[in-house]
Structure 1
Amino acid sequence: MVSTDAIGSDGYNDFWRTMLVDFTKHLKEKKWFEKTYIAMDERPMAAMQSVIRLLKSVDKDWKIALAGEYHQEIEKDINNYCIASKWKFPDDVLASRKQQGKVSTWYTCCVEKYPNAFTFSPPAEMVWMGWYTAATGMEGYLRWAYNSWPSSPLNDSRFTAWPSGDTYLVYPGPLTSIRFEKIIEGIQDYEKINILRKEYSDKGDTKKMQQLEEALKQFQIPALSKTSAKDMLGKTRHLLNL
């Protein structure tokens, strides 16, 4: 049974508050509450504000996750915030979130021409995403989906009007894909960049740190309209092997 009342209405709040009160009690009894998030996907700001008020009225310590557009008005209430690639966290906001231990990530979906992980996307873009994540100072990248297969994924990677490959990164079997392997490669580069940043900082190696940070500056999404991900990486990846 679900509520058919509009979000924010008395009927909606009464329906969900009953469940949330019991759910909160259950999580606390199991000692799971502190690591549990209520997550929402691409909800409008007004709807999020209403749900946030409802959650906080049940327990002020509820953690909230959202994948969607960036809204300054609700940012402070989102513990795990994944923003669409057309948005950016302001520098001061991102620094504050890091200090508070909040998670800040980004994602792509159907609408982004680049970078993306479609079957027709240049494979280097999946590696490029790791560098972009490091360049922006975010903690990670989210990609729908891992294995939401259409009827014949080995023969046709389309799903209705969605771009080819949007719904999966691996194949039945299980079988990997170039896209999945390249995303792993990008994750490895991201981790290596963070290791080098710490190493250079600990050693006071300002020259190498400056080289790395200058290289990262070019990893901006608009730059892909003029320079391919492959060419951009070709000029920078040697810095991970110094």
Structure 2
Amino acid sequence: KRMLTEEFQDPLYGHVQLWCPIMPNYAEPLARARQRLGEEVWWYVCTGPKAPYCTLFIDKPAIELRMWLWQTWKYGVQGILIWHTNWWTSTGPFPGPDVQNPWEDPMSYVDASTGFWGNGDGRFFYPANRDPNGDRETEYVEAPISSLRWEMLGVGIQDWEYFRILADRVRAAEARGDRSPRVRAARELLRVPPEITLDMVRFTRDPRLLEAHREKLADAIEHLAAAR
């Protein structure tokens, strides 16, 4: 497949099989049209967008990365992209021999310059060596250390999977001719409630709302499984 991190444009039609625009450039009617033609649609976040969108920055609420997956489901987006996970140093502000210590300096700098991408952009894992300039001899074999933001992204992916599993169960039940109230209620649960996220810039920061809806999804999955 040919993937392009650009928004939908007429001159590109027929040449792209996987579209991946940055989140604010996602256009739902155009995305649906490309999907009907068998093309995939993802989206991504990086140094942009900034607030009020969901972001990946350290100095923003961690729930934003989880919420991104709820919005991914809401808009029928089929995948997400993050450009980097261990961007630890940049040659601009740290030309050598010393490197940036990501444990002490949270900023992700534009490579080969002194520009700013943002705190934590492209940095979801941290090195086991907490003193990369002072300790150059120790051989570290430990796995990189994940961030809270990475864990929240993982929880969001799990949330998305709950939606997907229930959607599969609903389709299977409807294919069997089941139009019972239980199936209709399950289909309604596949709609992300507006009090959780109304659009890409209006969404809750209260995890209790997400947990309550996720529990409903889980109950519906179990009920439809028992009904087969």
Q: Are 2:41 and 1:104 aligned?
A: yes
Identity of aligned residues (%): 25
Supply the distance in 2 between the matched residues of 1:194 and 1:183 (Cα, whole angstroms): 17
User: 4, 12, 22: which is aligned to 1:84?
Assistant: 22
Structure 1 residues 121, 77: closer, same or farther in 2, change over 3 A? Answer: same
**Pairs within 5 Å for 1:50-199:** 63-91=1-29, 93-112=30-49, 113=51, 114-150=53-89, 151-160=100-109, 161-173=116-128, 174-199=144-169
Structure 1 residues 210, 65: closer, same or farther in 2, change over 3 A? Answer: same
State the Cα distance separating 1:234 from its structure 2 match: 5.0
Supply the distance in 2 between the matched residues of 1:231 and 1:70 (Cα, whole angstroms): 36
User: 191, 199, 202: which is aligned to 1:223?
Assistant: 202
Larger relative contact order (CA 8 Å, sep ≥ 6): 2
Aligned counterpart, 2:215: 238
Letter in 1 for 2:74: A
Of Structure 1 and Structure 2, the greater helix share is in 1
Letter in 2 for 1:201: R
Letter in 2 for 1:153: P
Which structure 1 residue ranges, 4+ long, deviate > 6 Å from structure 2?
none
Supply the distance in 2 between the matched residues of 1:72 and 1:229 (Cα, whole angstroms): 40
Supply the distance in 2 between the matched residues of 1:170 and 1:200 (Cα, whole angstroms): 37
Supply the distance in 1 between the matched residues of 2:86 and 2:60 (Cα, whole angstroms): 18
Unaligned 5+ segments in structure 2 are 90-99, 110-115, 129-143, 175-182, 220-228
Secondary structure of 1:137's counterpart equals: coil
For each residue in 1:167-218, what CA deviation from the matched residue of structure 2 results, as whole angstroms up to 9, or x when unmatched?
A: 2111112101111111111111112211101112222311221133152783
State the Cα distance separating 1:235 from its structure 2 match: 5.4
Unaligned 5+ segments in structure 1 are 1-62
Letter in 2 for 1:126: L
Whether the aligned pair in 2 keeps the contact of 1:132 and 1:219 (CA below 8 Å) is: no
Secondary structure of 1:76's counterpart equals: coil
Supply the distance in 1 between the matched residues of 2:206 and 2:199 (Cα, whole angstroms): 10
User: 187, 212, 217: which is aligned to 1:209?
Assistant: 187
Letter in 1 for 2:187: M
Deviates more, 1:95-104 or 1:151-160: 95-104
State the Cα distance separating 1:71 from its structure 2 match: 2.2
Scaled by the length of structure 1, the TM-score of the pair is 0.65
**Pairs within 5 Å for 1:18-57:** none
Supply the distance in 2 between the matched residues of 1:87 and 1:71 (Cα, whole angstroms): 11
Supply the distance in 2 between the matched residues of 1:177 and 1:88 (Cα, whole angstroms): 27
